[in-house]
Structure 1
């Protein structure tokens, strides 16, 4: 799943290094299309939609339960809250960009959006595993 979005987004970096703006929308060229078929993009979009929705609902549920029931407030559960918040942020700030790119078969938010996408997912992934 992620491989298709990485290849879509990485096309902008290669276009920047190729010079002359070919294939880069911000530099006057066209946008790079996905190497997947339309059916492949649809499958990836459905999977990302499911992951994003399922992750959002489950992580919100974990946070609500933690806040509502005082018996769940233990040091070990605080680590689980850290993971849940991190996953929630990925579901809110990372997955929608991948989902949109998969539905259209191309990266939609340009080179700066690609950098933001990579930064946000790397940051929240690192928050998820602070001991790695």
Structure 2
């Protein structure tokens, strides 16, 4: 491996987790967080995604339960995607929504890891 690939990398801050209220080292002043209006817009968008994503996937699950003709192998793959999307709406988007309402990440480093795991696993 060429050592030139890593030259100058040691001084960079790769962490974008602001859960401990520290500013980013390499970010210009005032650019580390959204404005209050930005958080409101983000909250509204995440609220719509969370609500409609959950409801639409719930309707898909109800249709699969009600109509046995829909239980084909290909549709079972679609059911799997729907269940996965519903779990992201419940466990992933909910955390982002709650944090955007408050204007900061609420659950610290372990919550950030949980958020990343949920979205990676179910997404």
Equivalent in the alignment of 1:11: 18
Q: Which runs of 4+ in 1 moved over 3 A?
A: none
- The structure whose Rg is larger is 2
Correspondent of 1:48 among 41, 46, 49: 46
Offset from partner CA, 1:23-81 (integer Å, 9 cap, x none):
x2xxxxxx358611111100000000000000000000000100110111111100100
* SS at 2:48 equivalent: helix
Q: Which has the higher helix share?
A: 1
Q: Give unmatched runs, 5+ long, in structure 2.
A: 1-15, 24-31
Q: How big is the shift at 1:10?
A: 2.0
- Equivalences, count: 100
Equivalent in the alignment of 2:122: 124
Within 5 Å, give how 1:1-132 maps onto structure 2: 10-12=17-19, 24=20, 31-32=21-22, 35-125=33-123
Return the alpha-carbon distance in structure 1 between the equivalents of residues 38 and 118 of structure 2.
25
Q: What is the root-mean-square deviation in Å for CA atoms of aligned residues?
A: 1.5
- Native 8 Å contact 2:60 2:82 kept in 1: yes
> What's the TM-score once normalised by structure 2's chain length?
0.76
